[in-house]
A and B are shown apart, each in its own frame.
Chain A
Amino acid sequence: MGMLEAILITIATAATPLLIAAVGELVVERSGVLNLGVEGMMVMGAVTGFAAALATGSPWLGFLAAIVVGALFSLLFAFLTLTLVTNQVATGLALTLLGLGLSGMLGEGFVGFPGVKLANVYIPVLTDIPLVGKLFFGQDPIFYLSILLTAGVAYFLFRTRAGLTLRSVGDNHASAHALGINVVLIRYLAVMFGGACAGLAGGYLSIVYTPQWVENMTAGRGWIALALVVFASWRPWRVLAGAYLFGAVTIGQLHAQALGIGVPSQLLSSLPYLATIVVLVLISRNRRLTMVNTPASLGRPFVPDR
């Protein structure tokens, strides 16, 4: 295995959790809800995924547990913001704080345990192709799932009637309500999909990326995922491009340190946020781009009159 291939594979591994969490949040935001609790849902997914995999010995049950806990955690957010109509920003921040604290407490007994490993895919002949075999045909199953997820979300949003309905709710919830669309129900489903994705992304961290549990192990990846959604101007394939770009920056930073290149790590880790600001400035100059891609009701509370 060549050095380059190894680097590319680690980039994919770094990008996968960002991609999964960001694609989930993209669906949430397209429905008009801003859930800043991605970090909290991710870290909860990480701790339960690790614990469930350890207890059952099956990484798959670990992923399942991570997904369920992520969705349940987001259900709390949905109940508060959609039913009780609390402020979305404050509630999302509270969710992150709660997730970080709760996961630290629940995970105390799991620190130091070796995790359950997930085997990489092996397809005879294809995986053995020199240079690209392992990159394309020999990674972990969740990597492939993340690509399918992106494609699925892109298809759902822009090719199906249900996706159109979801986008309409994010664009103008009052109009959607007037047409008889159940705004609150659609947002509940979107938020829970986002939670499930964040949970899975967290489980990926503790089962595949670094198979162990460490407190706060998400290390800000939930925030990068949030930034990515804006960076990608709410388009799924651009989220994928962004996730790999940021994944590459993370890995590049490690290699640069190893080679003794003196780029301050703080600068590199701030790059995703700087890039997001640049993108925001650029798209806000273009009225059509903003209008077409930015969910106009994003973060606005909705109370249906009956």
Chain B
Amino acid sequence: MDMKRDYFEDVQLFESNVVLFWSVALMLLLFAIPFFAPKYYIFLLNIVMVHVILAVGLNVLVGYTGQISLGHAGFFAIGAYGTALLMLKLQIPFVVALLFAGFIAAFFGFLLGLPALRLEGPYLAVASLGFGLAIMHVIGHWQFFGGRTGILAPPLDIGIPQLNASFILQTDAQKYYLILVVAILMVIAARNIMKTRVGRSFVAIRDSDIAAEVIGINLTIYKTLAFAISAFYAGIAGGLFGFVLGFFDPFTFNMILSIIFLVMVVVGGLGSIAGPIMGAVLITYLQYSLLKNIAEVPVLGDFLVTVSSRWFSVMGLENINSIVLGLIMIGIVIFEPLGMYGIWIRIKKYWMTWPF
């Protein structure tokens, strides 16, 4: 059903007019949301889209290149602090600072990619974990980065204040449009990267790095490039994230955050563009909305409060968050290794071939 007849069919952005129609409809819906959605949901959507950017970038590394990273909170932190500090200390306009912070993160990604040339699997996971924690400690201890207390985000000014052309975004709805545009651009860019020579090299490395080397793919260049691209996405996402929250706390960029990022990609589905988007939406919704306020959910909430006060502690009920996340992680590997995207493909196949 997904037969490609020529090269153009493989690289085009919209596979068919149906896809084009639904994409346009989705875009219109996304742009119209601030007119009718309550304020809290717009804040939530901002976080969702930041995570979408990050998950799509992480998927380039984990899903397409087959490298494991548990250090993406580090790149996220580099992007966040880089953007804010460039704006605060050097008075650089936001757009330039964001890009620049993205490139700083990409440079660190390149550095982490160097050990990845010799490591694989669990070794790489632990090395990147160590990297992420090291970044957190450096930011948390060095007074230059605000130390333990963190820093407050400067006003989000997308114009150039030096030329008297400042345009400060204050409400969540205004920030929503900025993040939406960036997210759409980044997702389309990721999709297009995967259709180029570079993207196909990544996939070849994932499937077998030795075979890829034999057919002439330079592993040094492409593996470090995958890390750099992925870190660039994380850096951009981090730069936006700080402005969504309004402050930077060094200890939010911890190991758990890196795990949550990895979960988004795995739950959504490795090696696809739609997968990490779905995963990021689901996990962010669970983390920031449903499970955070689990005690207020009609029947289940009362039940959990009773259970907590009988056997556990009511104060610790928020830990249900990480319990559910852990169960999702285990369940997805055991029952549905392809993730949500796998379920989607199965449904699609079922309808397209229906009576059979």
> Is B one of A's binding partners?
no
Q: B: which residues have CB within 8 A of A?
A: none
